[in-house]
Each structure stands twice: as structure tokens, then as C-alpha cells.
Amino acid sequence: MKNVKITCPLDCFDLCQIDVMIQDNKIVSIKGDPGHDLTDGVICKKGLDHLKRHYSNDRLLSPRIKTGNGWQDISYNKAISIFADKIKSVESKSILHYTDAGYGGLSKSVSRVFFNKLGSISTHRGSLCWSAGMHALQKNIGEIKGMNYHEVSNSDYIVLWGRNVADTNLHLFMKLKKAKSEGKKVIYIDPIKTATAKFADIYLQINPDSDRFLVYGILKLSSQKIINRLDKKSLDILNRMNIEEVVLKTNVSTDKIQFLADIFCEGELNILSFLGYGLQRYKNGAETVESILKLHYFTEKINKKGCGINYADNNISKRINNPYIDKTVENVTFVKSKFASFLKDNESIRMIFIDKSNPVTQLPNTNEVIAELDNVPFKVGIDMFMTDTMEMMDLVFPAISIFETEDVIYSSMFSPYIQYSQKCLEPINGILSEYDLFYRLAEQIGLAGYPFIDIEDYLKTLLDGILAENKISYSEFKKIGKLDFSRDLDNDKDEIEFLDVTLRELTNTEVNANKDYNLRLITPHSKNSLHSQGFKDYDGLPIIHFNQQGYENGELIIVASKYGKLKCKVKIDELCLPDVAYIYEGYWNKSGIVNRLTTDEYSNYGDQAAYYDTFIRIEGKVSL
Ligand SMILES: Nc1nc2c(c(=O)[nH]1)N[C@H]1C(S)=C(S)[C@@H](COP(=O)(O)OP(=O)(O)OC[C@H]3O[C@@H](n4cnc5c(=O)[nH]c(N)nc54)[C@H](O)[C@@H]3O)O[C@H]1N2
Ligand SMILES: Nc1nc2c(c(=O)[nH]1)N[C@H]1C(S)=C(S)[C@@H](COP(=O)(O)OP(=O)(O)OC[C@H]3O[C@@H](n4cnc5c(=O)[nH]c(N)nc54)[C@H](O)[C@@H]3O)O[C@H]1N2
Ligand code: SF4
Ligand SMILES: [Mo]
């Protein structure tokens, strides 16, 4: 029996290290590394599913091409020739590269290197995920800095602003369970009464997109010492607000706002805020994150033990330099959520390449995405499975699994580690890794400047700065398996400096703005699936949760937004706000893609998809 360590490559906060047991060239079992401080011997269902996905009968095992008679497997030689000929026949700007974080290892960054070497291409900017909040951090504190989880042990209160740790950040949840048993208090703020809400000591069922009003309410009810720190413009804004208005906007009572003001003003108490990303999937997302940063600034809950904010952290990513990407190449860019509009306005796009993502289910406004994607003459994708996106391609390449390559992985979301992931097995059926595929493609078209080096040299080069700083070699890094980049409060460089300390005038939420569509639709992330990946084998209807009179569990209804319609099964949630409904994101087309309903509008700052600014109505019941 051989024991190998890999890292979970999913787009998750936690970056678990996983022990893989191998016998006779077959993986027998996997489990969370008990010696890893964050993983602590536990991995979630999504992590355990890596094994099922690796050995799945549905896995793509060969390149395939769409023909008049459906899909046909073809050899790599043929598939690479077709791909290379197409690339050579079009101008680089008419190639669109669409990608996301479906796999987090550095080895698969070669697709970006490849397209960069082709010249100026078309690609997206902003994000479906976190970019409104990133904008707020960059603007207010000049860098993406996040307090590390070790500070939980020094804090008295932990405030979770829409960070649904029980479902999306399991290992912070485990740390908070321990913290609670030691007497620390957890406050959870979310419009939906999630599993985290049930776990918290104090739960505030806030109206969607209103956290920034809550923050201003807290500041308004703060002690004179805090008020004295505000400049005139900020004070004027607070003076013009009244607390009844804040209560109405937020659904949080005056008593609770006063309680928050009291703890934030109490000098002796240490408070840590963990911000989720659901909170900023609004047009006003950046303003919300900014307001929470400023709350910590004014109340001085920052730059000391047990205090601070965790949203994301670039301590590792800023140290990774890919010398093979020429940053002077200027691409044609569009806001990611506006993918379909860009295609509509740019008939010059002749070819699209999609990797590490499933835009047909994950981009907003699916109906337009499908219609516009359909018009692109040649489409190529790479995935482990025939997803709804891969079904729309003309040429598909299989992807290897995490067990089939060595890699280096980090997550800028939460885990402070960068980790080495060992190769466990040779790829099934001799399929090519993305690393080898792009190497061969680059060879075939004679791509100047492409790094024709082996994978180990590529990874080593990307880690140059990190290895030098830690005074270790790549082989030593492989042996240690991980390096820790936790922010350190004793290090001046890790202190947070505020660049802008004036409160801004707040923009109203869109609540009830749209009378034709009376329910706001939130589409959060589900516990057992990483986006669409865990819904592969689910073929029931999507489930809609709400608390509306006249409906019963299990009934089927049609819901509509101005973007499309969806057939759903009802699940009554008696704790749901009256004007809110929620459907988890990630369902495949065979069930019904929730993004058929969502808006493709984006945040005022940061180009973030404003998914949760979607409004729907119930069009009627349908029979089973
Ligand atoms: N199991 C699982 N884990 C995941 C993922 C997954 O798909 N599945 N995805 C990963 C990725 S890519 C991401 S981006 C993260 C996302 O991690 P989270 O941010 O934790 O997840 P979301 O589901 O986007 O939103 C969290 C909560 O925000 C709430 N919310 C919505 N609007 C507001 C608001 O205005 N104010 C407040 N206070 N709360 C609000 C939602 O109701 C939801 O419960 O999770 C990562 N982890
Ligand atoms: N309505 C709604 N929509 C949302 C969100 C929401 O809150 N609401 N959240 C958004 C967020 S936060 C995010 S981050 C995006 C995520 O959007 P995506 O990243 O597009 O979502 P996934 O479904 O995880 O798709 C990843 C794909 O990569 C494939 N894959 C896995 N390993 C590899 C590999 O090694 N190589 C290649 N080439 N492919 C691989 C998987 O099989 C899967 O099909 O979704 C967004 N969509
Ligand atoms: S999905 Fe997240 S919590 Fe689950 S095993 Fe992977 S890194 Fe760990
Ligand atoms: Mo995300």
C-alpha cells in the first residue's frame, strides 16, 4: 500500500490536504490529512467525490468531435491538427478564451500562456465570484489583505456577514465550533436562515443588499468616542439618516443594532469579521464590503490580536510571477457577466475556447448565453465530463483528474497555505494532461516564445520568488508539502492602512423596485456540490424555497423573470422572508438551469455579476 498526499483543487476556501491510499495501481481510499492544521483529518463530500469522479463511467477518455451523426472519438493527432489549423486560419482577436477556477492547480495555467503567445485575444474581465469585494479592498486598503483564521482564538465575537460556513467553508465552521465551546460568540447575518444561522449565537435575518445600512446604523448608535473619529462629510450623512429608516431597510431591530454598536464600541472586546461573497453579488456589492471595512476602521477593530477582516488574501498570488505571460499584450476585454452581449455585438469572434468552467450553467442569463454561443462557428472545450457547455462544443478534449498529475495549488479565498499535490497514477486511457496538450499544440503551430520545458521546470519557475524567500529548493518544498503565508500582526507590512476614511452616500437597494416581479431570487451555493459539479447525477427538478401562501411542498410551478422561465418543485421554508425565494445554483439543463432566470447586470464597481439583483414571479402551477 502506498500513501500519497494530494491537495483538493476545487474552488473552495479550504484547500484541504488529502491522503490517498494506493494499491496495485488503484486508489483504494482517500481521507483528510489528520496532520494538517486546517484540514484536521476531515474532508467534505465534494472532496470525497474526487474518487467517484476519477473512476466514473461518464468520464471523457478521448478527444471527440461533433459530426452529423453525433459525437465521434478521434485520435489526439487528428484533434490537435484540427485545433491547430483553425487557430492558424483566424486572427488572434477573433479567438475568445473563457475560463474559471474549476481546477486550481498552477500546471493548468498553460492555457493562458498559450493564448498570450498567440497575441491579443478576446477575453473577460471582472468576475462571477468576488470582484466587487476585491475592488472595495483594493480601493480602501490598497491591497487584498485578510486576517488569518488563527485569530479566531484571540477574538471574543466572530461576525459572519453572509458567510455560510456550515455549507461553503467547512474548516472555518469546525474552528468556530471549537471557539463556541470556549465561550466565544458567533453572530451570523444572512437573509436566509441557513445551517450557519442555526449554529450561531445571534442570528440577524437581514433584508438582501442592506448590510451597508446596518453598518451605518451601528455607527449612528456608536459611542461619542467613535463618532469623534468621523469627518464632517461622514457625520452629515449619518445625521441625515434616522434609525427607524435603517430598521425598515434592514429588517434588524433597534435593539439588535444597539447591541452591535455596544460590542463594536467596547474597547476591550476583540471582533473578527468574515465576509462571504453572497453579500456582494449585487450592483451595490462593493459599497457593502467597503462599509464593513470602515466599521472596523472607525471602531478600531483592526490591526490588533483577535480583530480584523477576512474576505480574501493575495499574500501568495502576489508572489507568483508567471514570466511566460507577456503583460504588455493588450486583450480585447468585456465584463464576464456580459458574455452573451459581447458575442452578440462582435460577430468577428470565429472561435471560442473554454476550460475549467461550465459557463452554460454558471453564467447569468443562460438563454442568451446558449443562443449566442450557438452562433460561434468553432468551439473547443476541455473538461472531465460532457457538461452542458461541452455538449455545445465542436471539439472536446478530456481533462485528467487531480490524481493524475503533480501540481502546486493555493486559494486566495481563505487558506493561508500553498501546497504541493503529488501525482498518484498515470492518466487513465493515456489521456493527455492540459500541460502536455498545449505543449503539443504549441509545437504543431510553431508558437514563438512558448515554454517548451517539462512540467516540473514550469512549476519551479512560477515558484521562484516563493522558494527564494523561504530559502528552500523545489525538491525541499515537495518534501515539506506546504508553506504558510498567514498574515502576521507583528509584521508592519501586514498591518492594514486605510486610504479612504470618509463614509460615502449610500445607494438604495433594489428591493420592491420591480412591481412586475415580486420576489427577489437568491441563488446560493449548495453544501454538497461545487457549483455544477456535484449535480452531474441529479435529474430531478430544481427546488425553489420560499414562504408563499397557497403552495405546498412538492407542487410544481413555473417561475419567470424578465430573462426566462423555469419549472421548479416547491419547498416551503417558513423562515424565509416574505419577498425572497431561493434556488441553489448548479443544476444542469436536464433539471433546469437556474441562471435562465438571473440578470446579467453587474456591480457599480468591480465588474461583479449581480446575480442576486434578480426578481421573479410565480406564473402558475403545473401538474406532475
Ligand atoms: N459547498 C460549496 N462550497 C463552496 C462553493 C460551492 O459551490 N459549494 N463555492 C465556492 C465559491 S466559488 C464561493 S464564491 C464561495 C461562496 O461562499 P459564500 O459566500 O459562503 O456563499 P454564497 O452561497 O454565495 O452566499 C452565502 C450567503 O450569503 C447570503 N446573502 C445573500 N445576500 C446577502 C446580503 O445581502 N447580505 C448578507 N449578509 N448575506 C447575503 C446568502 O443567503 C447565502 O446564504 O463558496 C465556495 N465554497
Ligand atoms: N446563479 C448563480 N450563478 C453563479 C453563482 C451564484 O452564486 N449564483 N456563483 C458564481 C461563482 S461564485 C462562481 S466561482 C462560478 C463558477 O463557475 P464555473 O467555474 O464555471 O463552475 P463549475 O460548475 O465548478 O465548473 C467547472 C468545470 O471545470 C471542470 N473541471 C474540473 N477539473 C478540470 C480540469 O482539470 N481541467 C478542465 N479543463 N476542467 C476541469 C468541471 O468538470 C466543471 O465542469 O459560478 C457562478 N455562478
Ligand atoms: S471542497 Fe473544500 S472542504 Fe471539501 S475537500 Fe475540497 S478543499 Fe476541503
Ligand atoms: Mo466563486
Q: Tell me: the pLDDT tens digits for 450-482? A: 999 999 999 999 999 999 999 999 999 999 999
CA of 381 from ligand 3 middle (Å) equals: 25
Alpha-carbon distances of 574 from 139, 518, 525, rounded to whole Å: 40, 18, 20
Residue 511 has pLDDT above 70, yes or no: no
| 347 CB-near residues (< 8 Å, 6+ apart) | 375
Calpha distance 36→47 (Å, rounded): 15
User: Given the CA of residue 44, which atom of ligand 1 is nearest to it?
Assistant: 1
Share of the chain above pLDDT 90, in %: 96
Distance CA 123, CA 335 (A): 9
Q: Return the residue whose CA atom lies nearest to atom 42 of ligand 1.
A: 192
Task: Give CA–CA dist 488/304, Å, rounded.
Answer: 10
Burial of 429 (0-12, 13-18, 19+ CB in 10 A): exposed
Name the band, by pLDDT with cuts 50, 70 and 90, for residue 373.
very high
117 closest CA partner among 443, 493, 430 = 443
Pocket lining: 530 vs ligand 2, CB cutoff 6 Å? yes
Band (513; pLDDT cuts 50, 70, 90): low
Please list the residues that pair with 310 across neighbouring strands: 274
Per-residue DSSP letter, 608: B
Looking at ligand 3, which atom is closest to the CA of residue 48? 5
By the 8 A CB rule, do 571 and 540 touch?
no
- What is the mean predicted confidence (pLDDT) over 551-562? 97
By most ligand atoms within 8 Å of CB, the mutation choice from 164, 292, 531 for ligand 1 is 164
Cell numbers standing for residue 133:
469585494
- Mean pLDDT in residue range 20-47: 97
CB 585 near ligand 2, within 6 Å:
yes
pLDDT for the residue 435: 98
Query: 360 CA distance to ligand 2 centroid (A)?
Result: 10
Q: Any bridge partners for residue 76, and if so which? A: none
Total Cβ atoms within 10 A of residue 472: 16
Residues in the chain: 624
3-class SS of residue 221: coil
- Helix (H) or strand (E) run with residue 570 in it: strand 565-572
Instruction: Tell me, in angstroms, the distance from the centre of ligand 4 to residue 129's CA.
Output: 4
pLDDT value of residue 510? 67
pLDDT digits (tens, 9 = 90+) for 304-330: 999 999 999 999 999 999 999 999 999
Look up the pTM and report it.
0.97
Q: Residue 47 — pLDDT band, cuts 50, 70, 90?
A: very high
* Cell of residue 427, nine digits: 492518466
Q: Which atom of ligand 1 is nearest to the CA of 196?
A: 44
593 C-alpha to center of ligand 4: Å?
Answer: 17
Q: Of the candidates 10, 9, 11, 8, which has an alpha carbon nearest to the alpha carbon of residue 19?
A: 8
What spacing in Å lies between the alpha carbon of 336 and ligand 4's midpoint? 13
CA of 11, nearest ligand number: 1
Instruction: Reply yes or no on whether the pLDDT at 249 is more than 80.
Output: yes
What's the rounded Cα separation, in Å, for the pair 619 and 623?
13
Give the number of whichever ligand sits closest to the CA of residue 188. 1
Question: In angstroms, rounded to a whole number, what is the distance separating the alpha carbons of residues 240 and 161?
Answer: 25
Q: Which long-range contacts (CB under 8 A, 24 or more apart) does 296-300 make?
A: 296/271, 297/498, 297/501, 298/219, 298/222, 298/226, 298/229, 298/230, 298/501, 299/222, 299/226, 299/264, 299/265, 299/271, 300/267
From residue 178, how far is each of 26, 175, 199, 304 by CA, in Å? 37, 5, 12, 22
571 CB neighbour count, 10 Å cutoff: 17
The CA R_g of the chain, rounded to the nearest whole Å, is 25
Q: What is the DSSP letter of 39?
A: T
Residue 47 CA to chain centroid, in angstroms? 16
C-alpha cell at 53: 469522479
Closest atom of ligand 1 to 211 CA is 36
Q: At residue 547, does pLDDT exceed 70?
A: yes
| pLDDT over 80 (residue 290) | yes
Whether the per-residue pLDDT at 565 is higher than 90: the answer is yes
Whole-angstrom distance, CA of residue 346 vs CA of residue 425: 43
| Residue 234 CB–ligand 2 contact under 6 Å | no
- Three-class secondary structure of residue 207 per DSSP: coil
Q: Is 414 in the pocket of ligand 1 (CB under 6 A)?
A: no
Among protein residues, the one with the nearest Cα to ligand 1's atom 12 is 11
Distance separating alpha carbons of residues 105 and 459, to the nearest angstrom: 10
Cα–Cα–Cα angle for 174, 178, 181, nearest 5°? 140
